[in-house]
Copies of this chain bind each other. A is one copy, B any other.
Amino acid sequence: MYRTHTCGELRISHTGQQVTLAGWIQTVRKFGSISFVDLRDRYGITQLLFGEELNAMLAEQPLGREFVVQAKGMVTERSDKNLRLPTGEIEIKILSFSVLNRSATPPFTIQDDTDGGDDLRMKYRYLDLRRNAVKKNLELRYAVNRAARNYLHGQGFMDIETPFLIKSTPEGARDFVVPSRMNAGQFYALPQSPQTFKQLLMVSGYDRYYQVVKCFRDEDLRADRQPEFTQIDCEMAFVEQEDILNMFESMIKYIFKEVKGIDYAEPVKRMTWEDAMWEYGIDKPDIRFEMKIANLKKPSYVFLNKDDNATVINDAGFKVFDEAETVVAIAVTGCAEYTRKQTDELTEWVKRPQIGMKGLVYIKCHADGSFKSSVDKFYNEEKLKAIAAATGAKQGDLVLILAGPEERTRKAVSELRLELAERLGFRKKEEFRLLWVLDFPLFEYAEEENLAGRWVARHHPFTAPKPDHIDAMINNNPLIENTVEYLSHPYANIKANAYDMVLNGNEIGGGSIRIFQRELQEKMFSALGMSEEESLNKFGFLLGAFEYGAPPHGGIAFGFDRLCAILGGSESIRDFIAFPKNNSGRDMMLDAPGSIDEKQLNELQIKLNLK
């Protein structure tokens, strides 16, 4: 062992002990004939004092930043204590030392506020990982991993490893594939999730399964996606939705307690998907703050059980509202005094292509009870007051109104809500609000070109419909004849036994009760446009398994990277992955992917076919 103690361990009570430390040189400060050296390791920083004799040696062979040093010395009380450091009451009077390894000058400083840019830090990730900020993230990640495992173990779950070299079943996302040399011309796929395996384990009777497991998706990487990512993957047999919600609500609370020291005592709020879309315009609402959507107008074919507030905007001759499918508003707390410049900027913000609105209507609800709007021509004070009332605005608030096609407008108002909350400081990093979103639609309309006019599974094809929606699924033809008004097709209203866990506006987990009957699973595959042959070829093993006594079951998977990021107060998962890839799927440090030898290609019996 190169050391007797770590650099985070020594206290005033160790005074007088002779110790050996090993670590990295953080700083060297010379004061005349003596030097102070901060020595760093994983556990902390300890100050070394080089007296006259050793200091002379240092003058000849200077210790550079990041040199690896072993030093022996005596623990001594400091005269000038640094109470911000746990080791700050002592220093080590060095008796002897040796340089274990030298270091070139690092390309950026190993400090919380490094001078290194993103690309540089990724290329030298092994140096970036030395920074305290990154280390804290990986420590948090390990703590979450450990807490989740301990909780699940305590509940009788078993970690069972599922294979990585599986069969390609291109549904939804694209598979990474692996050419097989021993079976030339054939390919394995890397799993997008262990979904079918965990279901098979339920069929096999392992009624509580978990795994912290890598998954793979070959998708174009939008911001903050990784081609490989980690899931906390769980499945249970002989359960209903309520059992799963309770089990995993408790797990997250356990993690909060263990990792963050937070007692999340109250039950996790639950909301139907429909309510979430109606009140927040999104299926993963951030409920740290209110600012709910006021639905002033909606088309008839959606939210069948909801009423809009159209009376307050109709009959005013304002064509924008009259011709719009949907009119929605939010009341922004305390912003009635926004200047023209500020409202203009918000208008520009909603007109950006990513948001896609044609404009923005505002009503200022002044503190004196008066109203001022951008549509004064059409709405008198009384009508403005009625609209403001419908949005729940109070005196001093700013009402923002968007109008346009249902889906785009609802999405836009949700984005606007989040943007304003961000600007107003309502999205506090260290406040955590959990939410279950329930009763998702079972089917979604496929917008991708190659699937157009078809249903796709919103969650995945193994999700069970609500029991009382099974008939609607079986008795209606899945064919979409009117692709424009696809929302009026009966399938659009079939709800799934599915649930998402949302934390601060991020989906951190999602799951469902599964289909466990062969007939219903076959109906699902056919509703998704799969021929019988295709479904047998892709999922014959699962359909087969369902013939031999499959129990009712369901499960959930948590996005481990995202969960860690949010608990760590960040929205970037990359900061919580030891060796992440960039947005082109490249590992900048390894310089991977790379070319392979002709010999390897020949052995695999494939060749390049570059366009």
The size of the chain A interface, using a CB distance under 8 A, is: 125
* Beyond A126-B545, A129-B205, A166-B592, 4 additional pairs, beta carbon < 8 A: A100-B552, A126-B201, A167-B590, A179-B179
What are 11 residue pairs bridging A and B, where the CB atoms are less than 8 Å apart in the complex?
Answer: A2-B551, A2-B552, A24-B205, A40-B205, A146-B153, A161-B230, A165-B176, A165-B216, A167-B591, A170-B596, A606-B609
Residues of B within 8 A of A159 (CB): 142, 145-146
CB distance from A493 to the nearest CB of B (A): 28
| Residues of A near any B CB (own CB < 8 A) | 1-3, 22-25, 40-42, 66-68, 100-104, 106, 124-127, 129-130, 135, 138-139, 141-142, 145-146, 149, 153, 158-168, 170, 174-190, 197, 200-201, 203-207, 214, 216, 218, 220-221, 227-228, 230, 238-240, 243, 516-517, 540-541, 544-552, 577-579, 581, 584-587, 589-597, 600-611
Q: Contacts A102-B549, A549-B101, A578-B201: A600 and B168 contacting too (C-beta < 8 A)?
A: yes
Q: Quick one: given A239-B1, A579-B163, are A593 and B550 in contact (CB under 8 Å)?
A: no
9 tightest Cβ-Cβ pairs between the two chains A and B: A103-B549, A167-B592, A129-B204, A186-B593, A2-B238, A66-B549, A180-B593, A607-B609, A126-B200
| Known contacts A42-B206, A101-B517, A166 near B609 by CB under 8 Å | no
Q: In the assembly, what is the distance between CA of A243 and CA of B3, in Å?
A: 11
Point out the residue from B176, B181, B541 that lies within 8 Å of A174, measured CB to CB: B181
CB pair B581 A165 closer than 8 Å: yes
Decide: B68 and A551 in contact? CB cutoff 8 A: yes
A414 to B80, CA, bound (A): 67
Of A165, A177, A190, chain B has the most CB atoms within 10 Å of the CB of A165
- What residues on B are CB-neighbors of A540 within 8 Å? 591
Q: Which residues of B contact A124 (CB under 8 A)?
A: 544, 548
User: Is B174 touching A177 in the complex (CB atoms < 8 A)?
Assistant: no
Minimum CB–CB distance from A553 to chain B (whole Å) comes to 10
Contact present for B595 and A185 (CB under 8 Å):
yes
Instruction: Pick the contact of A185: B104, B130, B168, B608 (CB < 8 A).
Output: B608
